Amino acid sequence: MYDIRSMERSEIAELMAKLGEPKFRAEQVWRWTAAAVGGFDEMTNLPKNLREKLAECCELHRPEMLAEQKSSDGTIKYLWGLSDGSAVESVVMQYHHGNTVCISTQVGCRMGCAFCASTRGGKLRDLTPGEMLDEVQWSSKASGLDISNIVLMGIGEPLDNFDNVMKFLRMVGAPEGAGIGMRHISLSTCGPEGGIERLAEEDLQLTLSVSLHAPDDETRSRLMPINRASGGVKRLIERCNAYRKATGRRVSYEYLLASGITDTDEKAELLAKLLSGSDGHVNLIPLNHVDGSPLEPSDPERVRRFKEILESRGVNVTVRRRMGADIDAACGQLRSKRQNG
Ligand code: SAH
């Protein structure tokens, strides 16, 4: 079976040639799949026998909305049921500059970060390019909102599903589909070995966001097991600096503020030192508490002080606005609640 939703225009053209169909039919089919059509029977400008032929050799699923939660700040979270019965989350956030969708890249995650709900049951499988496109386009259809930006910050580690994510990134720019270009996309990673390097080779104009969360190896390894396997924080910053050099794109660092653990004055000083000499931007994220985790969010006064120290050391820093705090919008929370009953 062909996964037709994950096929690019040229691949659909090849398939249609194989099926003995004229070129203009390939173009018609591509337009339907790019637009996230729900099934072959909806491809109304194709003859019935062609629709049947396609249904025999291709899969085309429409994700099933298992849950929708709306926050008072306009954030909407979806739990999507996939063809194999698994589920992933997408979140639509409304900002003044446009609407952003945060999508998942894997079903579960194998990175094992201590603060994250997505990793609790491990990784079940990678998402296909088509499933990621579905998250973008069906979130837009379901919410009735145009989407102008995408962040790959949902469930999963995008660089652990490298080839599918690259294909998704190529396809999501297609004007017949979502039409969202690289400059409107951010990819968030915890920095698995080799991943940032491979991404640099692709030389894309997207924004690379690196989940740093601690400025020293002891703390980062405790929170994020990937730290040990990928050579530690100093090496991570070197890898990011090399990425910056190769692509010309400034790297953004995500830094979680967990009370007493990552938010002390000492950590702020260490972080400023670690980043001196790089022009990265730091995004401070107030932790979202997840059930069963000993980590607690920092109080607002601590957040203010932490930011102040970084600024006084010349670090470019912002505090991320909390969106959807009333609807379990933290990574993986909705999915994990459902799995637990
Ligand atoms: N695997 C990728 C992308 C998914 S996580 C990565 O590590 O970046 C997306 C972001 O959400 C990461 O910065 C992650 O550290 C953060 N995150 C996970 N759990 C969180 C929580 N409980 N509170 C706040 N941010 C969280």
Q: 189 — phi, psi (to 5°)? A: -140, 150
Distance CA 67, CA 153 (A): 19
For 213, phi and psi rounded to 5 degrees? 70, -15
Distance CA 122, CA 108 (A): 6
CA atoms within 13 Å, Cβ hemisphere of 229: 13
pLDDT digits (tens, 9 = 90+) for 97-147: 899 999 999 999 999 999 999 999 999 999 999 999 999 999 999 999 999
> How far from chain centre, in Å, is Cα 106?
9
Active site residues: 89, 331
Cross-strand bridge partners of residue 211: 254
Cα 220 → chain centroid: 21
> What separation in angstroms does the CA of 165 have from each of 6, 117, 195, 269?
11, 22, 12, 35
DSSP-derived secondary structure for 168-191:
HHHHTT-TTTT---GGGEEEEE--
Are the C-beta atoms of 130 and 6 separated by less than 8 Å? yes
pLDDT at 332: 62
pLDDT digits (tens, 9 = 90+) for 34-86: 999 999 999 999 999 999 999 999 999 999 999 999 999 999 999 999 999 99
- Alpha carbon of 278 to ligand 1 centroid (Å): 22
Provide residues with CB under 6 Å of ligand 1.
111, 115-116, 153, 157, 188-190, 211, 254, 256, 285, 287-288, 290, 330-331
259 pLDDT above the threshold of 60: yes
Q: How far is the CA of 250 from the centre of ligand 1 (A)?
A: 20
What does the radius of gyration of the chain's CA atoms come to, in whole angstroms? 21
Residues forming beta bridges with residue 100, ordered by sequence position: 93, 149
Give the residue, out of 116, 226, 255, with the most ligand 1 atoms within 8 A of its beta carbon, to mutate for a pocket test.
116
Give the dihedral sign, CA 46/51/57/60.
positive
Backbone torsions φ then ψ of 143, nearest 5 degrees: -90, -15
Helix (H, G, I), strand (E, B), or coil: what is residue 118?
helix
Give the distance (Å) from ligand 1 centre to CA of residue 153. Answer: 7
E strands in 174-271: 185-189, 207-211, 252-257
Identify any residues that bridge with 314 across adjacent strands, giving them in sequence order.
Answer: none
**Per-residue pLDDT tens for 218-253?**
999 999 999 999 999 999 999 999 999 999 999 999
How far lies 24's CA from each of 27, 48, 207, in Å? 5, 16, 36
